[in-house]
Homo-oligomer: A and B are copies of this chain.
Amino acid sequence: MRTLYHYTLCPFSRKIRLIMTEKKLDFDLEHEKFWEKREEFLLMNPAGQVPIFVDLNGTLVADSYAIGEYLEETYPDKQFIAGSPATRAEIRRLVAWFDDKFSREVSLPLMFEKTLRRYLREAGPTNSTAIRSAKAAIHLHLQYISWLVDRRKWLAGDDLSLADLAAAAHLSVVDYLGDVPWDDYEPAKEWYMRLKSRPGFRNLLTDRLPGIPSSSHYAELDF
């Protein structure tokens, strides 16, 4: 069976879970406590990060950028980086927007402060300035999503693409933690509701992290 090593609230792992479910690929999930740095895990990915994907033929792919492109090339029946060269470039620009900019400004600081910090010895007390900055930074991103979906059906154009899956993966982590001010951004909320009702999202919505409850509306399709 295909295997994905992941962490429940890792946005990059969630992006790959969404791609695989949308492509109708079966896979087992292995929850990896990557901060424990077990030896077999570091041998699979010396960067010490999830996700790591192992395909049916044993091919091992580490890093969510590499896995996303690998799945797109290896399982092309349903594509999420499709269209003209310009459209494909637009999809990848937006994937980078969320995987790079949004993660740096919003999703990773919140995930770190609210979940990872409690597993890490010597990580020290919660940095409330980092939480405040992340919660301030998310507004610009929700504004940008609203601006895009006011003009396009999906983030990168007429079709659902990897850009939507990447963005939704990051937002789902922040939404689990209750830090998305949806009500101020109706178009973004409507776009996220459309994604939430897709089959690929169901698995994410049943995820729970011991000791860290999800926001009350996290699993609601209509929130």
From the candidates B46, B66, B95, name the one contacting A89 in the complex (CB within 8 A).
B66
Interface residue? A86 (CB, 8 A) = yes
Interface residue? A47 (CB, 8 A) = yes
Q: Are A85 and B74 in contact (CB under 8 A)?
A: yes
Q: Are A92 and B73 in contact (CB under 8 A)?
A: no
- For A20-52 the 0/1 string (1 means CB < 8 A from B) is 000000000000000000000000011100000
Q: Is the interface of A mostly helix, strand, loop or mixed?
A: helix
- Measured in the bound complex, the distance between the Cα atoms of B89 and A69 in whole Å is 8
Interface residue? A97 (CB, 8 A) = yes
Q: Are B101 and A89 in contact (CB under 8 A)?
A: no
Interface residue? A113 (CB, 8 A) = no
Q: Are B59 and A93 in contact (CB under 8 A)?
A: no
Count copies of this chain in the complex.
Answer: 2
Q: Are B47 and A65 in contact (CB under 8 A)?
A: no
Q: Which residues of B contact A69 (CB under 8 A)?
A: 69, 88-89, 92
For chain A, the bracket of interface size reads: 20 to 34
Q: Which residues of B contact A144 (CB under 8 A)?
A: 46
Closest B residue, CB atoms, query A49: B101
- Measured in the bound complex, the distance between the Cα atoms of B92 and A74 in whole Å is 15
Closest B residue, CB atoms, query A66: B92
Q: Are B96 and A70 in contact (CB under 8 A)?
A: no
Q: Of A45, A86, A144, which is in contact with the most chain B CB atoms at under 10 Å from its CB?
A: A86
Q: Are B47 and A97 in contact (CB under 8 A)?
A: yes
Interface residues of A (CB under 8 A from B): 45-47, 59, 61-63, 65-67, 69-70, 73-74, 85-86, 88-90, 92-93, 95-97, 100-101, 144
13 contacting pairs across A/B (C-beta < 8 A)? A45-B93, A46-B144, A47-B96, A59-B85, A62-B93, A63-B92, A63-B97, A63-B100, A65-B92, A65-B96, A66-B90, A66-B95, A69-B88
